[in-house]
């Protein structure tokens, strides 16, 4: 079905885009890669009066290294993350996560900013940004602000982004040697959203024990969820498989998943345990090897 | 409402359409430009039948709003061969009997084409993953994978 007709704007600058979003408020939708918005338009689940196409804004394509951080412009496509193009190579966890997104066509056009703004509870990139304690840089009529990931995701498809705000980019820490990571997920069919996805980032001290472990899950709540209990249980432990698996058992106690047509709550808890264990094992092994997973 | 002139290249030929912005590339290709080789399946970007190349990268034509193609290059399956001559992938699909009803094949060929350009000598497993986003309800995929593998082997042999 064709979309309900709308007024289309293709601004060349971020200021212009913000001006349009401020003027039209809830009547407008910002368009990035369109891989979630366009089906909503053609299914007529979304009927904005105005579409503000962000794709012409060069400022949103910037990728730059700022010391220990990588700043990734909101319009950077999943394929660029997957290929580790240019400075993106410094954040190799994004390669692994992006390769799991949808199908190749979604990755050609889909953007990191679009994925975060859409905030699907089962999406990979929000969980990665949450695991890495990333920061979203957003700009609106009132100016620019930085929102930590734990404040950005509010609920399913709901974020702290105001109607007149645009994500400019995401700041993520570059993982050094001694830090391993892994992204694991279970899907019913290739390319589906995950039933549950787990992101683990494990830092191992030279002596061999865990300095810090971070775990985030997608698909077990309305937002990506960190597992502080699992993380605390691993601090200063040696990353042997038994310890990691015992800690991962705790994942089920830290989540309150709901059952739906795709999976029961009990099955999601099971997946949370299994995928957390697998992600931790792979991340810890990579950290011990001193190379990315 | 909001009609605009959009120019882009379709299979090497410059085209201009005068269309409203809410239309998709898929609609415009089929309904305005008669490019009926681009098949509409699910209309939600899942099935892969409407795959076209946008500046050499595969996209779902059903998920591209028409203003997004201004100034870009679109390739459909008609753009793969040279004139009447089939592209080696098309030859291989025919030789291996990789098509039954044929509806998914234009999208499948374009996905395979873009994949082989980036991965000239893939494993069978890599081919399976590459076409995972293109659904075929007839063949069971085995002959499609055979055909793609044959083209890759041919290239490796020549290389």
- Amino acid B155: pLDDT: 78
CATH architecture assigned to B3-79: Roll (3.10)
Rounded to an integer, what distance in angstroms lies between the CA atom of residue A266 and that of residue B66? Answer: 44
- Amino acid B30: pLDDT: 98
Mapping DSSP to helix (H, G, I), strand (E, B) and coil, where does residue B76 land? coil
Give contacts of B130 with chain A, Cβ < 8 Å: 104
Give the N- to C-terminal CA distance of chain A in Å, as an integer.
44
Chain B contact present for A35, CB below 8 A: yes
When CB atoms are compared, the residue of A1, A10, A105 closest to B58 is: A105
Chain A contact present for B61, CB below 8 A: no
Give contacts of A1 with chain B, Cβ < 8 Å: 43
Inter-residue contact A152 to A115 (CB < 8 Å)? no
Interface of A with B in 162-221 (CB under 8 A): 190-191
The CATH superfamily holding the domain B88-158 is [2Fe-2S]-binding domain (1.10.150.120)
Give contacts of A10 with chain B, Cβ < 8 Å: 67
The correct answer on CATH 3.40.50.300 for the domain covering A60-173 is no
Give contacts of A114 with chain B, Cβ < 8 Å: none
Q: What residue ranges of chain A are covered by domains with CATH 3.30.390.50?
A: 179-288
Alpha carbon separation from B12 to B4, B32, B82 (Å, rounded): 22, 17, 11
Query: What tokens does B40 get?
Result: 């509409």
- Amino acid A190: pLDDT: 86
Residues 6+ apart with CB under 8 A from B113: B53, B80, B87, B89
pLDDT in tens, chain A (293 residues): 899 999 999 999 999 999 999 999 999 999 999 999 999 999 999 999 999 999 999 999 999 999 999 999 999 999 999 999 999 999 999 999 999 999 999 999 999 999 999 999 999 999 999 999 999 999 999 999 999 999 999 999 999 999 999 999 999 999 988 999 999 999 998 889 999 999 999 999 999 999 999 999 999 999 999 999 999 999 999 999 999 999 999 999 999 999 999 999 999 999 999 999 999 999 999 998 875 44
What's the CATH code, domain A7-50? 3.30.43
CATH class, domain A179-288, is alpha beta
Chain A contact present for B114, CB below 8 A: yes
pLDDT in tens, chain B (159 residues): 578 999 999 999 999 999 999 999 999 999 999 999 999 999 999 999 999 999 999 999 999 999 999 999 999 999 999 888 999 999 999 999 999 999 999 999 999 999 999 999 999 999 999 999 999 999 999 999 999 999 999 876 654
Helix (H) or strand (E) holding A251: none
DSSP bridge pairs for A51: A8, A29
Q: What residue ranges of chain A are covered by domains with CATH 3.30.465.10?
A: 60-173
Interface of A with B in 80-109 (CB under 8 A): 102-106, 108-109
Rounded to an integer, what distance in angstroms lies between the CA atom of residue B151 and that of residue B118? Answer: 14
- Amino acid B159: pLDDT: 44
When CB atoms are compared, the residue of B57, B129, B132 closest to A79 is: B57
pTM for the whole structure: 0.96
Angle at A148 between CA A283 and CA A60, to 5 degrees: 95
- Amino acid B157: pLDDT: 60
Domain extent listing, chain B: 3-79, 88-158
Query: What tokens does B53 get?
Result: 């190349």
CB < 8 Å & 24+ apart, contacts of A84-91: A87/A63, A88/A63, A90/A65, A90/A174, A91/A172, A91/A174, A91/A175
């Amino acid at each position: 079905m064709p979309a309900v007709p709308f007024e289309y704007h293709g601004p060349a600058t971020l200021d212009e885009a913000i001006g349009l979003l401020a003027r039209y408020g809830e009547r407008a939708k910002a368009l990035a890669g369109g891989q979630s918005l366009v089906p909503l338009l053609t299914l007529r689940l979304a009927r904005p009066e105005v579409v503000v196409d962000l794709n012409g804004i060069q400022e949103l394509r910037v990728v730059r290294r700022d010391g220990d951080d990588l700043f990734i412009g909101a319009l950077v496509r999943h394929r660029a993350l997957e290929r580790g193009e240019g400075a993106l190579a410094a954040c190799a966890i994004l390669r692994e996560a992006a390769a799991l997104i949808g199908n190749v066509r979604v990755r050609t056009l889909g953007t990191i900013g679009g994925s975060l703004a859409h905030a699907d509870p089962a999406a990979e990139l929000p969980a990665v940004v949450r695991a890495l304690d990333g920061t979203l840089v957003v700009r609106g009529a009132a100016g620019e602000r930085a929102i930590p990931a734990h404040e950005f995701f509010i609920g399913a498809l709901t974020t702290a982004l105001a109607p007149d705000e645009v994500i400019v980019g995401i700041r993520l820490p570059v993982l050094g040697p001694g830090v391993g990571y892994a992204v694991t997920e279970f899907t019913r069919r290739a390319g589906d959203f995950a039933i549950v996805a787990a992101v683990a980032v494990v830092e191992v001290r030279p002596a061999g024990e865990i300095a810090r472990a971070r775990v985030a899950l997608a698909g077990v709540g309305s937002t990506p969820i960190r597992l502080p209990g699992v993380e605390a249980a691993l601090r200063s432990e040696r990353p042997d498989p038994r310890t990691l698996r015992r800690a991962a058992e705790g994942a089920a106690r830290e989540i309150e998943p709901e059952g739906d047509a795709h999976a029961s709550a009990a099955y999601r808890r099971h997946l949370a345990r299994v995928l957390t264990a697998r992600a931790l094992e792979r991340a810890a092994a990579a950290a011990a090897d001193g190379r990315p997973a | 409402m909001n009609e605009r002139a959009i120019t882009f290249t379709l299979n090497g030929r410059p085209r201009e359409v005068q269309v409203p912005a809410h239309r998709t590339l898929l609609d415009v290709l089929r309904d305005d430009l008669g490019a009926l080789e681009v098949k509409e399946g699910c209309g939600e970007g899942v099935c892969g039948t409407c795959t076209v190349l946008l500046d050499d990268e595969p996209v779902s034509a059903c998920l591209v709003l028409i203003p997004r193609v201004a100034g870009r290059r679109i390739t459909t399956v008609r753009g793969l061969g040279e004139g009447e001559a089939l592209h080696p992938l098309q030859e291989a699909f025919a030789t291996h009997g990789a098509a039954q009803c044929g509806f998914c094949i234009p999208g499948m060929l374009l996905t395979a084409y873009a994949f082989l350009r980036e991965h000239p000598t893939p494993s069978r497993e890599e081919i399976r993953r590459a076409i995972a986003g293109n659904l075929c309800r007839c063949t069971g995929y085995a002959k499609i994978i055979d055909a793609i593998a044959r083209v890759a082997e041919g290239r490796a042999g020549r290389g």
